[in-house]
Amino acid sequence: MNNFFWRRNRNAEIEALPAFSAERGRAPRILIESRDLAERWAIEVILRRAGFEPASCGGPEVLPGGRCPLVAGSGCPAFTAADAVFCRLDLADAANEQILQTLKSEAGRRRVVVEVPSPRARKLAGLLEGCVVLPMPATSAAIVEAFAGVTGAEVPA
């Protein structure tokens, strides 16, 4: 049985912290960072159908104390296990900017893909440096193509 860490979302519902399956398969692992639960679910479905193994996190707004464990220095097992990260957090929020900065600085071999509105991307050019930037709203095909590109995965046509 897997060990789970728990957190509360903005509606005081309990969610498990992101986790990948205990057994490592061949599918590239993608960590999805997005506050919206329905959005995370939809992106998980898109990526899973394309042959990836997704896990998702709602960001600091849904965590006890409102802090990301990676930013707090306590680490994030899902981030450590991920091959790439998809960041859809609201970058107008300073806490979310700090998360993206931490994701980038801790990335190592992992690539960070960020979906952001084009006007905002121009304003955040420095923060987004080194990331793969998808203009918002990204299509399913664009999301899959971005992760195929950063992981080297072959995806079904």
What does the pLDDT read at residue 28?
94
What does the pLDDT read at residue 134?
96
What does the pLDDT read at residue 141?
96
6-31: per-residue pLDDT in tens?
444 444 444 556 666 767 778 999 99
Instruction: Please tell me the pTM assigned to this model.
Output: 0.84
pLDDT exceeds cutoff 70 at 60: yes
CATH topology of domain 6-18+26-151: Rossmann fold (3.40.50)
Write the DSSP string, the chain: -----EEE-TTS-EEEPP---SS--SSPEEEEE-S-HHHHHHHHHHHHHTT-EEEEE--GGGSGGG--HHHHTS--HHHHH-SEEEE-S-TTSHHHHHHHHHHHHH-TT-EEEEEE-HHHHHHTHHHHTTSEEEESSPPHHHHHHHHHHHH------
Domain boundaries, the chain: 6-18+26-151
Q: pLDDT: is 96 or 62 the higher one?
A: 96
What does the pLDDT read at residue 16?
54
What does the pLDDT read at residue 128?
95
For residue 26, what are its two tokens? 């061949």
Average pLDDT over residues 126-142: 94
76-133: per-residue pLDDT in tens?
888 889 999 999 988 888 888 888 998 988 888 889 999 999 888 999 999 999 999 9
